[in-house]
Structure 1
Amino acid sequence: MSLKFLLKAYAQVVAVAALVALMCVVLFNGLNNVRGQAWHERSLQPLMEWLAAVPAPAEQYHWMPALFGMKTGDSRAFQLTPVASERLSYGQVVAEPSGEGFVFYVASESGGLISLNLEQPYRDLARATALIVRWHLDAAPLEARAQTSDYLAQALGVRINPLQKQADLPAQTVLDRLSSSGLALLRRDDGGLAGVVRLSEGDLIAVNMPEAFNPWGWPIVTLLLVLVGGVLALGLFLALRFVDRHLRKVESVALRIARGEMGARVESQDGTLVSRLGSAFNGMAEHIQRLVQVQREMIHAVSHELRTPVARIRFGVQMIESASSPEALQKQMTGIDGDIQELDELIDEILTYARLEQGGPVFSLRDDSVTEIVEQVVTEQRIIREGVDIECRIEDGDGRWSQSDVEPRYIHRAVQNLVGNAARYADGRVLVTCHLDDENCRIDVEDDGRGIPESDWEKVFTAFARLDDSRTRTSGGYGLGLSIVRRILYWHGGQAFVGRSEQLGGAKFSLVWPRRKLESSVL
């Protein structure tokens, strides 16, 4: 996996995570603002309706204006929005945020409006409710106190419990507050509040409020889970769609190649998940296209190359039938033997080239001496080419860098092809030079012949390509030798070049490959 793709994928994941977090925060705050206002209106509704039913709440509950900002009056005394006014006309409790808490409105039965300004609505609701309960219980006769308690609990939406047992009594700190102010608030285990009041006779009453507002209620949690799951599903869908689209491109190109469109290629951007697949597929397609092209060229060239020796053999057989002397018979037999030898060499060249071109043989690279291989080739060629002066120069005289990772048989074949070609076209001299260092091996083969035109330097490595179309038994060559050389160097991780010899004036062929492989490759 490339670093570019990893960074790109990481950035996309971080961006999606940040987007999901931002959406969750916005949704959480937005919904809880609405839920909170609705909860406050629903929680204050029993108290506000109780106050609306009282003829003169500010006079009856004289502590309410000072403690809870109670105001009464007609609608013109309050600055209300049209929506709030309409809701109040329906008998609803309206809560509007203020600079400090909420302001609650309700229409009284006398036709005016009542408002409460609560800085901490839930806490102030518990205090106001507990004070109203204490006021009414203190005012009720002892024999009617239980009935009054039930009526208040139902009307105000609370649970009123007398604290009579020792286990029900609150902590001493709460009792101290009760003794000083007659009211204390307790936090229950479920998070709700309970107002504890002391009646005039000394009895303790607990006024338990409904549960407090929970911003993490199950509707919010469910909605956030749906949102996160939906975004993840959408992201997964888009990612799979992206991969599927690119895979369909590869599939389409594969079908086009199967129909014979060998030039079809996959177009994929760098840094994508399937870019490496596209590159590998394009490399495979190019290799297949080249193999098909080579196969066509080989079929065409082989059919052409076989005609000449086969025709000569046919002619020689016909001449044998009409031979009038043993000398003439022997001459034809020798010619036929030479043609058969030529066919055998041609088949060997074709098979070697086919093996190298279609993926190469199994190369077992081993540490061997390059200088010894070159000297062996030069010695063999001196015997074969008696009329040519073949000189060998080893620049690394002490042999420090002569060892290299090679397949000796194929390197021998490559050097032999170059030296043989140079001797064939040289006027009388061939120079073989080894340049060895700690990184690369280089072998230069130069001759003093007429050289190769620069326009044909790349053509000479093409299979079955001959610059001189006239072929005889003496000139030899099938146009495969240099192609074999280039493929041998390719499988060694190197290259073959052709140029002009500055020393001898003819052609100069060079073989260059790395002296050591980082890993032993099976090619």
Structure 2
Amino acid sequence: MNSIFVRIYGGILVALLIIGAATYVGVDLINQYRADQYRERMAEGTFFLLGEGLREQSGADRAEWLREMSRRLGASLRIHPGADLSLTYRERLHLDEGRVVIREHRESERITVLYHVPGGDDYLVTSLERLSEQQARATAGLILDRLKVVAPEQRAQSLARLVPYFGFPLSLAEWGEVGLDEEQYQRLDRNEMVLLLTDSTRRDATLYLYVPIPRDHRVLVLGPMTLFDPFPWELLVVASLLALCMVALSTYLQVRPLQTRLRHLERAVKRLGGGDLTAHADVRGSDSIGQLAATFNGMTAHIRRLIHAQREMTRAVSHELRTPVARLRFGLEMLADSESAEARRERLDALDRDIDQLDQLIDEILTYARLEQGTPTIDFQPVYLVEVCEQLRGELDTIRGDIVIEVAGDRTLAVDGDPRYLHRILQNLVTNALRYARARILMTIRLEEGGERVVVEVDDDGSGIPEHQRERVFKPFARLDQSRHRASGGYGLGLSIVKRIVDWHGGEVRVLESDWGGARFQVILPREQQRQHVLGR
């Protein structure tokens, strides 16, 4: 999960799943509440009329009235005192406000309808399987009973007083204005109710109930009664807006840590651009940003190291150049004072040696500076180190004097590396040994225990290197013994070059004590490398 894309995509996907589940549960809970409100509102007018009718009854007439209403509704109507109903706070609150309360019984798919009869502690209770056409017809009959007892000219006002208790419109329409077909008019002529459902395939389908009024030229119209819509556009808009807000929040929570880390990296880059070489990006992680920060920190560390090395080299080069330049100036003065041709020849030879020495110093400085510029692309190939050692021994025959150079090792043993750089490693190590050896130098090539690395050792019988100074010899222009070092030649760059090349080959170099009491330089290189591989620092 190191990819930023995978992390953001995975985070948003998980967020969408959570948001989807939360939205589904939320809409389901809201729809349950809306469905309860819808059913209670649709039943409220019916039970208002039942309660009003019950209040008008007394004694034995009550029981007869309840039986008649039960027959109309198709469900048993009962009267219960409030103490027997175990009402919740919400139910009692709604009932006291004159509203209907519906209890669901999911195990039996039945509902219980409760209504508080005004003026006492009695409650109308009935149990239904569903709100059906029969209850709608019973409701129409109850309204019609109310209208029959008033004069025709007062029926519109009487109906208007009932409208606030119903969840749908009530109106009176002229006989010819209701827009029914011939068969439906015939049913009205037979004093039958007509139930009309508009196009049921549409979400805005509605239900109308037309009831003929005896000895009246008008028709009682109940409706339009809208069907319950579980997904009205208002609810969908609200749910969509909430989902978008939650997606935006989850995306922000995913992106904010990335922005914070990028800001830290940006501040570090600006500090470095302003010349602060101590700039460090404190950004952790293994993703692309974390890797970029690690690369930046490595780059700044490398820049600091290069600048430090440049400063040291500048100081060291200034110091090293001062001696040959002073000798050249002194030699020129002596040459001017020489009278004989032989003396001038000796002075010119000395000057030539000083120039050679100066040229050698400049070559070493340029070589080290080139190696410090960066890691080159190394074309690894098998190199037989014993052959390189024997070739080097032949090259040094003119300068080794009486010192014996020996080579020991398996001629078939090869190591992956660049022949030029491996030759330079051995050349610098043997040349350094020649400066201090008394009579003997040994180059040994062997396989390390385990067989995965090759060990190159250069031993001399000189005075050796103290243990506390063995790490210093690999620093540029290092001086362990000023007078002895100057007497033996060299500028302190050879071993630094060796260290750099060994690092490129993924190996290590160390200084030990030889069996003869002198120094042993040991180079350990991997036997196999990846071809055409650029080694990092």
Output aligned runs, 1:261-410, within 5 Å. 261-271=276-286, 274-395=289-410, 397=411, 399=412, 401-402=413-414, 404=416, 406-410=417-421
The one-character-per-residue Cα deviations of 1:43-67 (angstroms, maximum 9, x if unpaired) are: 22333334344456624423268x5
Q: Secondary structure at the match of 2:101?
A: strand
Which residue in 2 is equivalent to 1:235?
250
| Distance change >3 Å, CA 30–CA 390, structure 1 → 2 | same
User: Residue 442 of structure 2 corresponds to which residue in structure 1?
Assistant: 431
Corresponding residue of 2:31: 32
Measure how far apart 1:293 and its partner are: 0.6
1:71 equivalent to 2:84? Answer: no
1:115 is the counterpart of 2:124: yes
Mapped contact 2:375–2:534 kept (Cα < 8 A): no
Q: 1:136 to 1:266 in 2, by over 3 A?
A: closer
| Structure 2 letter corresponding to 1:518 | Q
1:202 is matched with none
* Paired residue secondary structure (1:470): helix
Distance 1:64 1:429 in 2: 127
2:46 matched to which residue of 1? 47
Q: Is the 8 A contact 1:374 1:415 kept in 2?
A: yes
Q: 1:414–1:83: structure 2 CA closer, same or farther, 3 Å change rule?
A: closer
The residue correspondences of 1:153-302 to structure 2 (distance < 5 A) are: 157=168, 189=201, 210=225, 212-271=227-286, 274-302=289-317
Q: Is the 8 A contact 2:70 2:76 kept in 1?
A: no
Letter of the structure 2 residue corresponding to residue 482 of structure 1: L
**Residue number in structure 2 paired with 1:175:** none
Mean Cα displacement is larger for which, 103-112 or 439-448? 103-112
Q: Note if contact 1:190-1:211 (Cα within 8 Å) is conserved in structure 2.
A: no
Deviation of 1:477 (Å): 1.0
| Amino acid of the structure 1 residue aligned with 2:135 | A
Residues 125, 95 of structure 1: CA spacing in aligned structure 2 closer, same or farther, 3 A cutoff? farther
- Relative to structure 1, is the Cα distance of residues 82 and 467 closer, same or farther in structure 2, using a 3 angstrom cutoff? closer
- Specify the SS of the correspondent of 1:466: coil
Unaligned runs of 5+ in 2: 58-64, 171-177, 185-194, 210-221
Query: 1:252-307, CA deviations, whole angstroms, 9 ceiling, x for partnerless residues?
Result: 23333445543342223344663212211111111111001101101111111110
Task: Return the match for 1:95 from 82, 98, 101.
Answer: 101
* Correspondences of 1:372-521 after superposition (within 5 Å): 372-395=387-410, 397=411, 399=412, 401-402=413-414, 404=416, 406-436=417-447, 439-470=452-483, 474-501=487-514, 503-521=515-533
**Per-residue deviation, 1:22:** 5.6
SS of equivalent residue, structure 2 residue 463: coil
Structure 1 window deviating more from structure 2 (411-420 vs 213-222): it is 213-222
Task: Name which of structure 1's ranges 375-384 and 16-25 shifts more when overlaid on structure 2.
Answer: 16-25
1:126 touches 1:195 (CA, 8 Å); kept in 2? no
Distance 2:473 2:377 in 1: 26
Residue 62 in 1 paired to residue 74 in 2?
no
The two structures have a TM-score, normalised by structure 2, of: 0.75
Question: 8 Å contact 2:2–2:287 — kept in the other structure?
Answer: no
The question of whether the paired residues in 1 share the 8 Å contact of 2:67 and 2:77 is answered with no
* Gap change, CA 1:258 and 1:7, over 3 Å in 2: closer
1:379 & 1:324 partners in 2: Cα distance?
42
1:180 is matched with which residue? none
Q: How does 1:3-18 map to 2 (within 5 A)?
A: 16=15
TM-aligned CA deviation for residue 240 of structure 1: 2.5
C-alpha spacing 1:453/1:62, structure 2 compared with 1 (3 Å): same
Q: Distance in 1 between matches of 2:485 and 2:120?
A: 127
Asked whether the equivalents of residues 107 and 114 of structure 1 are also in contact (C-alpha less than 8 Å), the reply is yes
Check whether the contact 1:414–1:485 (CA below 8 A) recurs between aligned residues: yes
What is the CA–CA distance in structure 1 between the aligned matches of 2:395 and 2:409, rounded to whole Å? 17
Decide whether aligned partners of structure 1 residues 499 and 261 sit closer, same or farther in structure 2, where only a CA change above 3 A counts: farther
Q: Which amino acid aligns with 2:296?
A: F
Distance 1:21 1:454, change over 3 A: farther
Task: Give the 3 Å change call, closer, same or farther, for CA 489–73 of structure 1 in structure 2.
Answer: closer
- Deviations 1:359-405 (CA, angstroms, capped at 9, x unpaired): 0344343444433222211221233202111111122x4x2x4263x
Q: CA deviation at 1:81?
A: 5.4
Secondary structure (helix, strand or coil) at the match of 2:483 reads: coil
Tell me the SS of whatever aligns to 2:396. helix
The number of residue pairs the alignment matches comes to 486
User: In the superposition, relative to structure 1, how do residues 157 and 237 fare at CA in structure 2: closer, same or farther (>3 Å)?
Assistant: closer
| Structure 1 residue 422 displacement after superposition | 1.2
Q: Distance in 1 between matches of 2:266 and 2:310?
A: 25
- Shift, 1:321, TM fit: 0.9
Indicate conservation of the 8 Å contact 2:377/2:533, yes or no.
no
The alpha-carbon distance between structure 1 residues 136 and 34, as it changes in their structure 2 partners (threshold 3 A), is: closer
| Counterpart-to-counterpart distance in 1, 2:200 and 2:301 | 77
The answer as to whether partners of 1:414 and 1:488 remain within 8 angstroms in 2 is yes
Partner of 2:131: 124
Match of 2:216 in 1: none
Residue in 2 aligned with 1:173? none
The Cα shift of 1:327 comes to 2.1
Indicate conservation of the 8 Å contact 2:207/2:226, yes or no.
no
| Contact 1:392 1:431 survives alignment (8 Å) | yes
Task: Work out whether residues 435 and 441 of structure 1, in 8 Å CA contact, stay in contact via their aligned partners in 2.
Answer: yes
For 1:108-166, what per-residue CA distance to the aligned partner results, in whole angstroms no more than 9, with x for missing partners? 5777765344455xx3344422455589999x99xx9xx99xx9xx9784999989879
Q: Distance in 1 between matches of 2:414 and 2:121?
A: 111
Identity %: 33
Q: Is contact 2:281–2:293 with CA below 8 Å preserved after alignment?
A: yes
Residue 471 of structure 1: CA displacement? 6.0
CA distance in 2, matches of 1:127, 1:483: 104
Q: Does the 8 Å CA contact 1:8/1:271 hold for their aligned counterparts?
A: no
**What is the RMSD of the two structures over their aligned residues, measured on CA atoms?**
4.4
Question: 1:430 touches 1:448 (CA, 8 Å); kept in 2?
Answer: yes
